[in-house]
Amino acid sequence: MTARIGVVTFPGSLDDRDTQRAIRVAGAEPVALWHKDKDLKQVDAVVLCGGFSYGDYLRAGAIARFSPVMDTVIDQARAGLPVLGICNGFQILTEAHLLPGGMLGNDHLHFICRDQKLRVENADTLWTSDYTAGQEISIPLKNMDGRYVADRRTLDELEAEGRVAFRYVTDGEAAHGYGNPNGSLNDIAGITNAAGNVVGLMPHPEHAVEPLIGTGRTDGLPFFTSILKKLVNA
């Protein structure tokens, strides 16, 4: 059986084709999903890709959260469907309350684009099982509204329950991708829900799946091989 992973395109999505390619490189079948359709075409998992859905008006992800497709994504995610949100997709997941907290503008008020060092904090989710806890990886980051924020109670819960999936590595030179790039609280780069089926992160693993493009490394590929193995072995 070939696993089928849907990639949702919203008006303003930029990385849907790259995400589809990453899924194909991992060995699964990418399925294009349109934001106006509630039908998920019987996919086994869904990726909300990066970009600037609806031009980031109101707040990044705030309008996309009300697209018809999200009604189905929200219902099925709560029922266990694996969902990955990348950059704008992470923003949409917080707006849809599938993940806690929210995203604000970068603390330096500038768009940032660079290779970013991350540390894997949770390798037990459906999307991270091909990593090991404590592993350091480098994948591209590009955002304007990438500052993760939450109230202290939420942050304490995320930390206590091991739901910080990725953290920016800060012990090194910023010029080489180290450091907190946007002012995210607790250096958080990505989080998971309690069940481990919904994961969101700001950096772009789909741009680091082949050695000839992106970072020149394949540090992002385990996102897609992780879910593929889970689906095939389910």
Q: Report d(CA 30, CA 104) in Å as an integer.
A: 30
Burial call 185-213: b when 16+ CB within 10 Å, e when fewer:
bebbbbbbbeebbbbbbbbbbbbbbeeee
- The answer to whether residues 95 and 64 touch, using CB atoms and an 8 Å cutoff, is yes
204 catalytically annotated:
yes
Name residue 216's amino acid: G
Residue 176 annotated to the active site: no
How many CB atoms are located within 10 Å of the residue 42 CB?
A: 8
Among 95, 121, 204, 207, which one carries the catalytic annotation? 204
Antiparallel, parallel or unpaired: β 147-149 and 102-104: antiparallel
Q: Which of 215, 220, 233 is nearest to 23 (CA)?
A: 220
**Range list of H helices, the chain:** 16-26, 68-78, 88-95, 152-160, 221-232
Question: Of 35, 95, 121, 206, which residue is the catalytic one?
Answer: 206
Indicate which residue of 35, 87, 121, 207 is catalytic: 87
Does 206 participate in catalysis according to the annotation?
Answer: yes
Task: Taking each helix axis as running N to C, give the angle between helix 221-232 and helix 16-26, from 0 to 180 degrees, rounded to the nearest 10.
Answer: 60
> Which residue, 20, 106, 114, is CA-closest to 60?
106
Catalytic positions, written as ranges: 87, 204, 206
